[in-house]
Amino acid sequence: MAKREKLQPPAEVGLGAERMTPRFRMPASEREFVEGVQSLGLFSAFRGLKRRNQLLFGIVISAALILYWRGLWWLYDLFWEYFLPEHRLFAAVASVTLGLVILVGSDYAVEQLSRS
């Protein structure tokens, strides 16, 4: 039997950015990233399908959004029915308050991210 040699990984393979090969460098900007993805041509067939079947895509996406909202609403009702079954007014006010906090917080986060 032949003695098996221990396989070594190539020298340019590594976890750190300093050991990455030049072909796999990080894009300098978002535009460069988008252009790189578009150059692969992975989505060209999907775009063509979307152009030809816009009505079908509209119906499928609408159904997906409605089903998502329905499930979320159902979970929301279960949550408040479990924790505050006899205090529906308080549950409604708490929901509005929580929703406003999330909206204001996300608006603030987007504003801070857009400044940098």
pLDDT tens-place string over residues 60-98: 889 999 999 999 888 888 888 888 788 888 888 888 899
Write down the pTM of the prediction. 0.42
Q: What is the pLDDT of residues 53-70, one digit of tens each?
A: 888 888 888 999 999 999
Within 10 angstroms of residue 14's Cβ, the number of other Cβ atoms is 12
- pLDDT recorded at residue 66: 93
Q: What is the pLDDT of residues 10-57, one digit of tens each?
A: 555 555 544 545 555 666 777 777 777 777 776 666 677 667 788 888
| Among the listed residues 34, 12, 10, 31, the one whose alpha carbon sits nearest the alpha carbon of residue 23 | 12
